[in-house]
Structure 1
Amino acid sequence: MDQENMLHYLDTFDDLLFRTNIFGHFSSSGFITNKTHDKILLIHHNIYKSWGWTGGHMDGDDDFVAVALKEAQEETGISDFSFVTTDIASLDILEVPGHFKNGKYVSAHVHLSLAYLLEADENDAVFVKEDENSGVAWFPINEVLDVCTEEHMKTVYQKLLDKLKQFEK
């Protein structure tokens, strides 16, 4: 259903790659696993106050893969990622509650989210990007849903965990 709605929005709006669309806009995310697929790298997101995936706004870029990689690098400090698969792993319309960012109020809207399964070396150094997150950590795969406090995102993460099982090593 989300895919059908996203296609409808593409027919309705001509600016979905920009956050200036106050209804919503596209975002691209990475769900990052280690090489053995038994851990997931999560960031503690400042706005959502929850552990979750990396990702961000398109800001006019129409290369969803490049944005997912850029955001993963910026938000974790890791520079070397590979794809578990280059196929889109999840399409979701996600609610974003109203919040303050950089001292300005951002109204509630939706993210038209495309997500990819990424892989990284868990021994690579990570760092916090203070304007976006307050933590970066690897979690055992069976703890991911426990550390996420956003109930609606647990469904998305479960979908991604199920998809990841198709690529078990």
Structure 2
Amino acid sequence: MSWIDSIKEFVPYNEQERKDKEVILKCINIFDDILKRDNEIIHITSSGFVINKDKNKVLMVHHNIFNAWSLPGGHADGEENLLGVAISEIKEETGVKNISPITNKIVSLDMLSPFGHFRKGKYVSSHLHVSVVYLFQADENEQVIIKPDENSAVKWIPMNEIDIYSSESHMKKIYNKIICKIEDFYDA
């Protein structure tokens, strides 16, 4: 399935995702370079919500630029396989190698607006991220590593403590939405 089809087939969970999906599809039609961060207005990122086998912890990294706990993930940088991007970023940012997608479908689709910041000595203006998140499972006993140029910590965080660790109110809403979806997925 193409990356565009995976977004088109995404079933919104709430009004925020419905509206974000609508805007994202419009942007895909406007920008032919939306997969590349060279597009300084809007581009796609792909992340992983990685849970342990007991389904009570999530693997997170402490992001250097934003000084916040977040999901491992990164820019598509032209890659059309967004699930593959998420897998590569999880492995690169956490050191965890044995991860399995729970589903190949997008679990969360959001429009995010990172503030302007410095990256590798260059200023990056505020812009929009089309945030695509996939759901994975991994063994919490597998060794994790820090990627010093991107994060300062890697940790399995109890899902019921994400609000304690996360300092970004807009991201807390997204994490809690994903947790509700996971609960619905396993209760079904």
Q: TM-score, normalised by structure 1?
A: 0.97
**Partner residue, 1:5:** 23
Taking only the aligned residue pairs, the percentage that are identical comes to: 46
Question: 2:46 and 2:147 mapped to 1: Cα distance?
Answer: 18
Instruction: Give the length in aligned residue pairs.
Output: 169
Question: 2:71 and 2:172 mapped to 1: Cα distance?
Answer: 11
Q: What displacement does 1:30 show?
A: 0.3
Question: 1:126 and 1:109 mapped to 2: Cα distance?
Answer: 31
> Which residue, out of 14, 34, 50, partners 2:52?
34
Question: 1:132 and 1:63 mapped to 2: Cα distance?
Answer: 22
Residue 64 of structure 1 aligns with an amino acid whose one-letter code is L
Q: What displacement does 1:166 show?
A: 2.7
Moved over 2 A (4+): 166-169
**Partner residue, 1:43:** 61
Unmatched 5+ stretches in structure 1: none
Q: Which has the higher contact order (CA 8 A, sep 6+)?
A: 1
Confirm or deny that 1:115 pairs with 2:115.
Answer: no
Unmatched 5+ stretches in structure 2: 1-18
**Partner residue, 1:87:** 105
- Per-residue CA deviation, residues 99-131 of structure 1 (Å, 9 max, x unaligned), is 011111111111101101111100000000011
CA RMSD after TM alignment = 1.0
Residue 143 of structure 2 aligns with an amino acid whose one-letter code is A
Question: 2:76 and 2:157 mapped to 1: Cα distance?
Answer: 27
